[in-house]
Structure 1
Amino acid sequence: MGKKAKVKRSLGRLNDASLSAQGKVIVTSMTDNPHFKEPYPEGVTPLAQIKGTLGNFDNACIEARSGAKQSLAQRKSFRAQFIDELNDLGDYVDLVAKGNVEILTSSGFDYTKESPPSQVKHPVTYPSVVLTQGVKRGAIVAKAKKFPRAASCEVHSTTGDPTVEGNWKHAAVFGQFKNMELDGLTPGQQYAFRMRWIMPEGPGPWTPPFFFMPT
């Protein structure tokens, strides 16, 4: 019997900006997640505490730009605390998911693949997306590997709280997936994006939110 899918333990390899972005995805995905109802069991780091540590880490990263030793040490301390708390939450996610890919996906954590592959294929049901800065000011480019039978890719965006469904707005629908450009965005404004495949039988599930600040 092969190994079950589980949360990756690779957060420590991320740079500060990537760690912060990944943390925001996890926090957003875990908020009001029906698979992981709050309050969490005793011994599991509360989500509110993780949110607080994330805020402290982001502020420490800004302060550390001064190069002051105390600021650098504080950033290092909050970074280590944030990683520890996310890893603790990852243990809880593994305990609940028990290898269920859909539950793991809903948590916002990256996860390992089953090994060896199951006889029954479990195709990815939402786009695997990479966001980059566009050539034009206030533009971004999204790239996704085409999913079999997908007719198009729908994009929603928000500058508000991504956990509030009413904040999401339709942004675009693309028929090709290598260079999906969104322009007319406000430079310096952080956006959350989500995407889904439009299949012959209807739309698929949304991705967890992607966070990006166009320049």
Structure 2
Amino acid sequence: MANKSKVLVNFARMKDDELMVAATTIISAMTDNVHFETPSPSLESVQVLVDDYAAKLNAARRRGAPSDTALKNEVRQPLEEALQKLGYYVNATAQGHLSTLLSSGFRSSSGISSLEVPLKIEAVKVRDGRQSGQVRLDFAPQRAARMYECVYRKQHEEAWSAHISTTSSRLNIIAPLSVGQYYEIRVRGINTHGQGDWSDIVTIMVR
């Protein structure tokens, strides 16, 4: 008898951004999904873990202190365990039915997926925000992308010292920035298959 398809439940090797994308994709796909009416654990409880992990991840990247990284790693483990339990529920409920498995947002052992690594983000535009020290970022959306990563720096600096994650291609506000300084900004798409290429760099003077 052929082996039944299953969703993959090991998240330990995923990079931080990949885990965030996977968790966000799964919650979105399973919300109001008629195939999975009683998720265990609940999607609400998993969302709490995702929000906590996202906050700790952003703090670790923003400040870079060892204590922030340790906190991020501490909250990552409960999130991985919750997603793993949710994957067991999906496998038990779907009983190897491939289209049902794929509708959960989990990756499948069959290797079949409608997604590929995102392409390079195009049409990146920056403009003044509504307040001083703000910049608005917009770009062309990609269906394959589940999340977007944006990095920015003062012009002529070598390191990309700041990072934000977003699920929207419009109305992204970057702040606080130094007034009168030129900033360089770039963005890329991310999904469970990996990270796309960075967009071309755009530059703006903050007002």
TM range (shorter): 0.5 to 0.7
How far apart are the structure 1 equivalents of 2:42 and 2:92? 16
Query: 1:134: how far off?
Result: 2.8
Q: Which amino acid in the other structure matches residue 24 of structure 1?
A: T
How far apart are the structure 2 equivalents of 1:58 and 1:93? 24
What corresponds to 1:6 in structure 2?
A: 6
Structure 2, unaligned stretches of length 5 or more?
Answer: 126-138, 146-168, 174-188, 190-195, 202-207
TM-score computed with the length of structure 2 as normaliser: 0.59
Count how many residue pairs are aligned between Structure 1 and Structure 2: 145
1:19-34 equivalent positions in 2, closer than 5 A: 19-34=19-34
RMSD: 3.6
How far apart are the structure 2 equivalents of 1:3 and 1:61? 38
User: Per the alignment, in what secondary structure is the counterpart of residue 50 of structure 1?
Assistant: helix
What corresponds to 2:64 in structure 1?
A: 67
Match of 2:116 among 93, 114, 129: 129
What corresponds to 2:163 in structure 1?
A: none
CA contact (8 A) 1:133 1:141 kept: no
Query: 1:136: how far off?
Result: 4.2
- Matching of residue 104 in structure 1 with residue 101 in structure 2: yes
Q: Which amino acid in the other structure matches residue 7 of structure 2?
A: V
Deviation per residue, 1:14-55 (Å, 9 max, x gap): 1111110111000001111111113x4xxx311101000000
CA contact (8 A) 1:64 1:75 kept: yes
Q: Which amino acid in the other structure matches residue 48 of structure 2?
A: G
CA contact (8 A) 1:6 1:94 kept: yes
Query: 1:188: how far off?
Result: 4.0
Q: Which amino acid in the other structure matches residue 72 of structure 2?
A: R
1:1-215 equivalent positions in 2, closer than 5 A: 1-38=1-38, 40=39, 44-65=40-61, 66-113=63-110, 127-134=114-121, 136-138=123-125, 139-140=139-140, 186=170, 188=172
How far apart are the structure 2 equivalents of 1:67 and 1:52? 23
Residues 68-77 or 133-142, more deviating: 133-142
Query: 1:68: how far off?
Result: 1.9
Structure 1, unaligned stretches of length 5 or more?
Answer: 115-123, 143-154, 158-184, 194-211
Using a 3 Å threshold, how does the CA distance of structure 1 residues 24 and 156 change in structure 2: closer, same or farther?
A: closer
User: Per the alignment, in what secondary structure is the counterpart of residue 12 of structure 1?
Assistant: coil
Query: 1:141: how far off?
Result: 8.1
Report percent identity of matched pairs. Answer: 24
Q: Which amino acid in the other structure matches residue 106 of structure 1?
A: S
User: Per the alignment, in what secondary structure is the counterpart of residue 80 of structure 2?
Assistant: helix
How far apart are the structure 2 equivalents of 1:10 and 1:140? 32
How far apart are the structure 2 equivalents of 1:17 and 1:140? 20
How far apart are the structure 1 equivalents of 2:171 and 2:45? 31
Deviation per residue, 1:56-84 (Å, 9 max, x gap): 00000011121223211110011111111
